[in-house]
Structure 1
């Protein structure tokens, strides 16, 4: 606990916001860490509700209850702040996927379907998370988007690489990197549609559409029965 002043839960961790009086007993690093978490928490809500283009630094500082000067002691600008929020979302989403894959049937398709279901389920638990990861990051320039694609591509491709010995998960003549990119692009658009829809489809329908596409992509040699069929 850093000090008094209230707390909330953000990204699965407890975040304490200290009062001005409590700041007197804290080091400069502790004060800056608290301000940084305030800004991350504010950005998580504002970037999702107002959108990245509509969220000013002044509004972020007001929500976080810090000065504009303190903002620039923590982040170089709105883009860096979004990248930090987005990377934290990705980190937790991939952790959820890893857990789902570990608990899945020991088949290539079983693990891949479990990963898709785990990812979609986790991302859509909180509309703010889904919007930041799949919509607002596109509006913030290339760097956050490129970092996101690299991490998610690596995780998706690892499932293909770890396929049971003797299977041929990638169709002959198809580049596995491009195949992974195509699958992730389709999943991305499904979630974007879910975020933007006034009456979004059930999460199970989003997972079902992604799994249906998956079954059309890979050869019959790896389409073994799974719990997610």
Structure 2
């Protein structure tokens, strides 16, 4: 009589979760390396050591897998940044500097994360457009919350300034990913903090 377990003692649900995790890990490396547009399902399955049929039990296609990888990168980064801001001194300048430092440090700790979040997200085009916009909105809200009240003379501009700060961070990370000689991370942090202080008048 069937028990619902394979020779490793895993349930059907556990096998599915294991295959999904292996695909996510394979995609994390391949999408960041060869790139999303050139990575085939066959190559993903070979790297994950599963069949093509098993792939479609986990994801509806490459696009679905790419969204899952990108979402995971963004969620991890948001948690790290929010934690750093929460542990910083309460003044806006310290909170934003802590958030910027953690964002750059966390994203670049694994170049695969940096490439997926700042390069492959653009190369994927419409596949990730809504996910990217949601991520931009999330990081913008984190900055707005950390800043609090703006200095006199900048009424009604907090959202736009925070949005511009997110854009500046993204472009700095793209430069870091693509540069033959990567600029030191402390230079990225110093530049981003300078942009923040000039923009928000702190």
Normalising by the residue count of structure 2, what TM-score does the alignment of the two structures yield?
A: 0.89
Structure 2 CA distance for aligned equivalents of residues 135 and 114 of structure 1: 24
Quote the offset at 1:34 in angstroms: 0.7
Contact kept? 2:140, 2:163, Cα under 8 Å: no
**1:199 alignment partner, SS class:** coil
Task: Report the counterpart of residue 183 of structure 2 in structure 1.
Answer: 201
Task: Report the counterpart of residue 43 of structure 1 in structure 2.
Answer: 27
Mapping of 1:206-221 within 5 angstroms?
A: 206-219=188-201
Task: Report the counterpart of residue 13 of structure 2 in structure 1.
Answer: 29
Contact kept? 1:113, 1:211, Cα under 8 Å: yes
Structure 1 CA distance for aligned equivalents of residues 94 and 59 of structure 2: 42
Quote the offset at 1:191 in angstroms: 0.2
Quote the offset at 1:216 in angstroms: 1.0
Structure 1 CA distance for aligned equivalents of residues 165 and 133 of structure 2: 12
Superposed CA RMSD in Å reads 1.9
Match of 2:70 among 75, 86, 108: 86
Match of 2:42 among 37, 43, 58: 58
Task: Report the counterpart of residue 116 of structure 1 in structure 2.
Answer: 100
Structure 1 residues 109-151: Cα deviation after superposition (integer angstroms, max 9, x where no partner): 1111111111010000010110011111112233524223323
Quote the offset at 1:43 in angstroms: 0.3
Structure 2 CA distance for aligned equivalents of residues 160 and 130 of structure 1: 23
Structure 1 segments unaligned to the other structure (5+ residues):
1-19, 224-229
Mapping of 1:149-164 within 5 angstroms?
A: 149-163=133-147
Structure 2 segments unaligned to the other structure (5+ residues):
1-5
Mapping of 1:135-214 within 5 angstroms?
A: 135-163=119-147, 167-169=149-151, 172-214=154-196
Structure 1 CA distance for aligned equivalents of residues 34 and 65 of structure 2: 15
Structure 1 CA distance for aligned equivalents of residues 44 and 73 of structure 2: 19
Normalising by the residue count of structure 1, what TM-score does the alignment of the two structures yield?
A: 0.79
Aligned length: 197
CA gap 1:170/1:47 in 2 versus in 1, 3 angstroms: farther
Quote the offset at 1:90 in angstroms: 0.9
